[in-house]
Amino acid sequence: MTGVDCDRTSLKQLADAGLNALPGDISDLPLKSGSYDVLSYFHVLEHVYDIDRVLLEAFRVLRPGGSLLIEVPDAEAYGAAECRVGVMFWVGIKEHVNHFSLSALKLLCERNGFGVTRIARSALPMKSEHMYPSLIVLATKGDLSILGDSAVSDRITSYFLSEVRQVKSLVEQIAKRIGENSTVSIWGIGVEFFSIYTYLSVLIKKSLLQLIDSNPFKVGQKVDGLVVVRPDATTHSDWLICCSYISNREIYSAALKFGWPEERIVDIARLTSVSGYC
């Protein structure tokens, strides 16, 4: 078994674990043509712009009849009740530059020389009891006629339009709660924040906003000219928005410890009835 990664830290971790891994790029694998029976791409294609180039490289490396195993988020299940995390969560992940329906993934495989032979769809456990919508396909090099055509679902479009409406509703609820000319701190600068910030920034003056995050990689970064600060370096504002669906309990508890009154904390997870408290 051989792994390929472009990240030095990951390569070192794999080597320390006794696993064989080579430095390389997904679109230019350091592997001989026709040398492997199976290639796996788990949580990769949603991060890649030139998918055709990646699949053509996989075609080169695989032997005739070789298998390609792919897992991506299942965009057709974004709106499923069991995979519900929060408003705009799945489409708001900035690292995900692609969103796949089954028919789209099947078409990509076929136009690069692979036929999809098996499909598995499931909801997998994530942090805080949320579920991940998984789509796994097994494709065979050279066989393009194993599964029939699947119609493009309109569920993705319906889901997206519904999420836009819910984002606007969420921001309206926040604005109604905090009122005008209040100072506001937002704790949690991630997917949830960026999905509501465009609408929220119209209603709240930038001079009244403070951004907070405990992630050291985010602290010191700027969003629209605002610097992200550590929780222990904040100035108490009139209101605190707990801006996370997955880590809302941790943020809420930490905010109380830092002295924010419970009645002045607005938790977007509770407003959207995503993951309230027991």
- Indicate which CATH number applies to the domain containing 71: 3.40.50.150
- Paired strand residues for 223: 226
Query: SS3 of 118, please?
Result: strand
So what's the pLDDT on residue 276? 36
- Paired strand residues for 267: 242
Using alpha carbons, select from 75, 184, 195 the residue that is nearest to residue 135. Answer: 75
Residue 276 within any structural domain of the chain:
no
Count of domains observed in the chain: 2
Of 129, 153, 177, which marks where a domain is finished? 153
Asked if residue 170 and residue 143 are part of one domain, the reply reads: no
So what's the pLDDT on residue 273? 64
The two three-digit tokens of residue 263, written as one number: 């009645």
CATH code: domain of residue 266? 3.40.50.720
Q: Which residues contact 253 (CB under 8 A, 6 or more apart)?
A: none
Residue 48 to residue 96: CA distance in whole angstroms: 8
Q: Model-level pTM?
A: 0.79
Asked if residue 169 and residue 127 are part of one domain, the reply reads: no
Residue 173 within any structural domain of the chain:
yes
Query: SS3 of 32, please?
Result: coil
Asked if residue 255 and residue 194 are part of one domain, the reply reads: yes
Asked if residue 149 and residue 47 are part of one domain, the reply reads: yes
Neighbours of 128 (CB within 10 A): 15
Asked if residue 255 and residue 171 are part of one domain, the reply reads: yes
Asked if residue 211 and residue 143 are part of one domain, the reply reads: no
So what's the pLDDT on residue 112? 94
Full domain range(s) for residue 171? 158-271
Listed as ranges, residues in the chain with pLDDT below 70 are 144-154, 273-278
Asked if residue 78 and residue 64 are part of one domain, the reply reads: yes
Is 221:227 a contact under the CB 8 Å cutoff? yes
Q: Which residues contact 150 (CB under 8 A, 6 or more apart)?
A: 102, 103, 106
Residue 137 within any structural domain of the chain:
yes
Of 128, 153, 178, which marks where a domain is finished? 153
Of 136, 153, 170, which marks where a domain is finished? 153
Asked if residue 101 and residue 166 are part of one domain, the reply reads: no
So what's the pLDDT on residue 1? 80
Asked if residue 146 and residue 38 are part of one domain, the reply reads: yes
Asked if residue 108 and residue 86 are part of one domain, the reply reads: yes
The two three-digit tokens of residue 97, written as one number: 């530059």
Residue 125 to residue 194: CA distance in whole angstroms: 24
So what's the pLDDT on residue 159? 84
